[in-house]
Structure 1
Amino acid sequence: MRDRRMYTVFALMLASFLTAVDVTIVDTAMPRIIGSLGGFALLTWLVSAYMLTATATMPVYGKLADIIGRKKTFTIGTVIFVAGSALCGAAQSMEALVLFRALQGLGAGAMQPTVQTILGDIFSPVERARVQGWFSAVWGFSALAGPLVGGLMVDFLSWRYLFYINLPLGVLALAMVWRFLEERVEQRRARVDYLGAVTLTGGMALLLLVLLTGGTQLPWGSPQIIGMAAGAAILLSLFLWTQGRAEDPILPLKLFRTPVIGWGNLSSLMVGGVMYGTSVYLPIWAQGVQGYSATRSGASLLWLSVGWPLAAVLGSRLVVRLGVRPSVLLGLGLNVAGSAGLVVLARAMAEIPEVLLALVTFVIGAGMGFSTLAFILGIQSSVGWAQRGVATASFQFIRTLGGMIWVSAMGGVMNLDLLGRLQRVPGVAARSAAEAGDWANRLLDPAQRAALAPEVLGAMQEALAGALRNVHLVMLLAALLSLAAALLIPNLRFAAERPRASPAD
């Protein structure tokens, strides 16, 4: 039995690696992809399309896993993911590639929460704490390996193999899950909440489109943004209305009355701002303000992926000894410390030494490792088999949604402040936030940066630094709010017994 579980864990690790690494693996390959297919204007959608569909569908797949079982839901997701990967590799235009990346995301949206749910089924909380540490290491390794593997494949093979490599590995993971995972689905009468699924997926897709394109590709006051925001508000309001009346709702609202789940998800909504804010805006500081190359600025962020798995391994012991609450508070306290350290350093120094940038990201990564592990264990242990899938998916969904909301807010703060500062710089004509962004892009492009006059370059760097200092304050606010919400989480202690694979056993 133990061997079967270990083989299952290997298969789930492989699936987690594939879905995680596909977020970053295209980063270093983008110039080659553009050279092959064209479509520069659609460049950012290579990542955005994947994240959009994966995030919007997580709650629906979580509910599906509770109705038809984890194995079947994992199969649906893996088949879609592998098919999307094959189509991406064969794409003949950028439009087709973006569409197939969205299809990949539809599969990843099923695989990611289902993997965590299966772990909740086959391991006790004490065992799960240790195993979750391994999976955190996989996520950290994925962030490190994605750009490296992508660069090697592009240099020695073709960018198309970035997607073709998913085919044999995805099939292997699926075959191993079917061979070694023993599951008996809890037989219960369930009616599919089709209206809830449609309104949630449609509403979230529109909301994410607003967050991804507002202030960047489209002005916030444009008819497109206003229309999508209105559509999202209508669909999500209808979704909430249906969930109070559906016989078997997609996202049972009563789940959030459980203190660990309710306060945990509220805290994760805030902590998403710290996680995504660090990864998005710290490289802008390193490259735009301090003039680092992309590789050099990325080296500082690598410590985020080092601190996370190390803290998860240590946190697995802390959770077992002391319970969920101490690990959550330690992790979120580290997030506050790292965010506050960034605020202080950016104001005290014109240029932050690389070792201090690395220290800040390591502390934030450690905070994410401690808190994420404890959140997942606490949420999964607060529900039974029949709701574990949707409870797990809700946590991952809400944290990602929170990250996008906070990053969008940070972008608005940065663009407005940057506009006012650049308008005071002689020789810089910036009449709108979009034009201010265009000038900021020159600081991030080595060729355009070198063409700027020294006095203009220095003034623009200071303007960008001032705008980013306000972004750091917003990130610190998100960290403080996440810690405040977590103070209301009750402590949950775990016994050492191991549960059966499902209630039917």
Structure 2
Amino acid sequence: MISTIQKKTSRPVVLAMVMIAMFITAIEATIVSTAMPSIVSELGGFESLAWVFSIFLLMQAVTIPIYGKLSDLYGRKPIFTIGMIIFLIGSILCGFAGSMTELIVYRLIQGLGAGAVQPLTMTIVSDIYSLEERGKIQGYLSSVWAVSSVTGPALGGFFVEYLSWVWVFWINVPFGIVSLIGLHLFFHENIERKARQIDYKGSALLFIAIGSLMTFFIGSGTLWRWNSLLTYVLLPLFAASLFLFIKVEQQAREPIMPLTLWRNRTIVLSNSAALTSHMVLIGISTFLPTYVQGVMGYSPSIAGMTLGAMSIGWPLASSIGGRYMLRIGMRRMTISGSIFIILGTVFYIMMRPEYGPFYVGTASFVTGVGLGLLSTASLLIVQGSTEWQMRGAATALIMFMRISGSTIGASVLASVLNNRYLSYMKTNAGPLGSEIELNDANILLDPARPPMDAELVELLQSGLTYGLNGVYWSIGVLAILTFGLTCWLPPLDPSTLSTSRTSSEQN
């Protein structure tokens, strides 16, 4: 299949529209987090709170590979349009939710649309910019994630305090419409017209396989025990559907996920590094504020600032590294990024309560530098290793691996924390050991907690420190594994990568 981007495509305008689309999907997690207390107070359903976030993440994960392949078959713009419309419909419905159950269903619809928006924004950029240009452009795209992580909580708080929580969802609508109009007016591609054969069986089996695996990791250890009936249902379902999926893809005329991608060593190693590095990312993002508040005793705003240092290091490294990527070498850049990630985890492992927030912020900044270098280089390596006909599927695959890393990492590392915390309490709490529960640690995270016995506070802090140290050691192992994967990448010659834009010159 051949696609060409026509001369009238305006690259600066398309880039701006893509960044807008990325922003509204990236901000969705942080802006909703701030509003959730108000949403729960109005709708109820606190016991289902986790699914408001999990269902959005789950639906993204299961649909990203499917949308990526469909964009290879039908073009980027029509599939992006469908995804954005679904996302905006879900956003509007979320504002009208009358119960927590309704909100979860509408978040599912949102996730279905976001599964197209996120990977296709990256794919469109790879279509209209050459490999030499993409490094610099990735710095701009990374800045979107940094801005969203900083402005999201502030916007959420503003809407809740001065307007209504419904606007954390409805704010997506005007930006989404602008993005759609801009892309339709200024992004033009010619798609070769021929009969298509959609891989319905493969799509269904992939949906089941990814859905069962992600549901297992989202719920196990939090919503239900690891050793439960659901575990014995979901894992065999994943294995069986994956086996059937591979069989179907081997015979499909237009496989929804080309298996040839998994025979490319460069792509496999880059995707594996994306998985492990995002397990590191979610571990830090989820548990670092807990350490700063619960162990160090600082306020939530200070905790947010220490984590926010990562949002400074990431786009800075991505922008500088992207600008000089071809001079440095993409393989060297991925290795350099993984080294910075290891250095950051060393900071976390050596962290002590008396070191203070500046030390923690330094660790976050260093880790952000590593993630910025690695994520930029690995994405460009994957896109440069494929032609247009499979670039959408390849980009979707690495985006899927990143989301999978976050999902798996959150579940596994939470289990490490919980098990070590309870183990410490049973060993050191004396008669109270059998009475102390996981939720008792919430006392340390309450800035307005009443005066408590100093010995009890010290015991809870020691248990939390012991559990979090286990998390940081686990993150260190993942960082070393990421380094090994990047070192195993074959030497990359830019001349062998796909540098063409599959387009004529743009204005």
Q: TM-score range by the shorter chain?
A: over 0.9
List per-residue Cα deviations over 1:106-159 (Å, max 9, x = no partner): 101000000101111100011111111100001111111111111111111111
- Count of residues in correspondence between the two structures: 496
Cα distance change, pair 350–13 in 1 and its aligned pair in 2 (3 A): closer
Q: Who is 1:111 aligned against?
A: 117
Partner of 1:281, secondary structure, is helix
**Cα distance in 1, alignment partners of residues 447 and 236 from structure 2:** 40
Whether contact under 8 Å (1:311, 1:366) holds in the other structure is yes
Whether contact under 8 Å (1:289, 1:465) holds in the other structure is yes
Q: 1:498, CA displacement in angstroms?
A: 5.7
1:135 to 130, 135, 141: 141
List per-residue Cα deviations over 1:58-106 (Å, max 9, x = no partner): 1011011101110011001000001001100111111101110111011
List per-residue Cα deviations over 1:258-300 (Å, max 9, x = no partner): 2321111111121111111110111121122122222221111
**Cα distance in 2, alignment partners of residues 256 and 182 from structure 1:** 31
Q: Who is 2:400 aligned against?
A: 397
Whether contact under 8 Å (1:184, 1:501) holds in the other structure is no
List per-residue Cα deviations over 1:7-38 (Å, max 9, x = no partner): 11111000000000011111111111112111
**Cα distance in 1, alignment partners of residues 95 and 231 from structure 2:** 32
* Matches for 1:191-210 after TM superposition, within 5 Å: 191-210=197-216
Q: Who is 1:313 aligned against?
A: 319
Q: 1:186, CA displacement in angstroms?
A: 4.1
Give RMSD over aligned pairs. 1.9
1:231 aligns with 2:237: yes
Structure 2 residue identity aligned to 1:456? L
Structure 2 residue identity aligned to 1:462? S
Q: Who is 1:437 aligned against?
A: 438
**Cα distance in 1, alignment partners of residues 245 and 294 from structure 2:** 42
Q: Who is 1:426 aligned against?
A: 430
List per-residue Cα deviations over 1:159-189 (Å, max 9, x = no partner): 1111111111111100110100011124555
**Cα distance in 2, alignment partners of residues 454 and 248 from structure 1:** 65
Structure 2 residue identity aligned to 1:443? L
2:19 to 13, 27, 45: 13
Partner of 1:247, secondary structure, is coil
**Cα distance in 1, alignment partners of residues 309 and 302 from structure 2:** 12
**Cα distance in 1, alignment partners of residues 291 and 475 from structure 2:** 14
* Structure 2 gap ranges (5+): 1-6
Whether contact under 8 Å (2:39, 2:165) holds in the other structure is yes
1:66 aligns with 2:65: no
Partner of 1:184, secondary structure, is strand
**Cα distance in 2, alignment partners of residues 298 and 162 from structure 1:** 20
1:501 to 500, 503, 506: 503
List per-residue Cα deviations over 1:403-432 (Å, max 9, x = no partner): 22233222222222111111131353447x
Q: 1:229, CA displacement in angstroms?
A: 2.6
1:413 aligns with 2:419: no
List per-residue Cα deviations over 1:281-330 (Å, max 9, x = no partner): 11121122122222221111001111110001111123121321111111
* Matches for 1:174-253 after TM superposition, within 5 Å: 174-187=180-193, 190-253=196-259
Whether contact under 8 Å (1:328, 1:371) holds in the other structure is yes
* Structure 1 gap ranges (5+): none
1:338 aligns with 2:339: no
1:460 aligns with 2:460: yes
List per-residue Cα deviations over 1:191-217 (Å, max 9, x = no partner): 211111111112212211111111112
Q: Which moved more, 1:286-295 or 1:175-184?
A: 286-295
* Matches for 1:126-165 after TM superposition, within 5 Å: 126-165=132-171
Whether contact under 8 Å (1:126, 1:494) holds in the other structure is no
Whether contact under 8 Å (1:11, 1:173) holds in the other structure is yes
**Cα distance in 1, alignment partners of residues 504 and 421 from structure 2:** 55
Partner of 2:255, secondary structure, is coil
